[in-house]
Amino acid sequence: MKTEIKWGVIFVIVSFLWISLERLVGLHDRYISMQQYFGFLFVIPAVLMMVLAIAEKRRVLGGEISFKQGFLCGMGVSIVVAILTPLYQWILFRFVSPDFFQNIIDYRISLGGNPQSLQMFYSFKWVLIGGVVVALVTGAITSLLLAAIMRTRTARV
């Protein structure tokens, strides 16, 4: 479980740095219209971190890893991320990018969005819930795919 905790913490730190970089280059205010596109690029480091976590787990297990072990490792990382998400998002939206919600709401309203639904959707509560759900769902899907790809044929668990 040490591997999963380690990589879950690394994942959260990298996520925090990524979003802080978004803020620094203006994707949370001046260039907010581009934020969603650059946000999708986070898939690349996210998958890379999961690959590295499962590869480390395989090394810890003596070079062999079954599909089940790989999947459980990936899910362990995802659960750690989901647990830490509320804290890192609170810090992020309280101190790093406190105007993000209002900026994205204003931008979406300028595109014709409904102010009431946007205020509900872009609230800390819904972003928090979404962050936890996304961590678990995308973590499960990524874990399934990577466990299938990275398993070793001789592993028996």
pLDDT tens-digit map of 88-101: 999 999 999 999 99
> In this model, does residue 157 exceed pLDDT 60?
no
**Better pLDDT: 101 or 157:** 101
Please state, as a whole number, how many other Cβ atoms lie within 10 Å of the Cβ of residue 33: 13
Closest CA to 16 of 119, 120, 131, 102: 131
Per-residue pLDDT at 153: 72
Confirm if 84 and 136 have CB atoms less than 8 A apart: no
Rounded CA separation 3/119 (Å): 39
What pLDDT does 156 receive? 61
For 9, phi and psi rounded to 5 degrees?
-65, -45
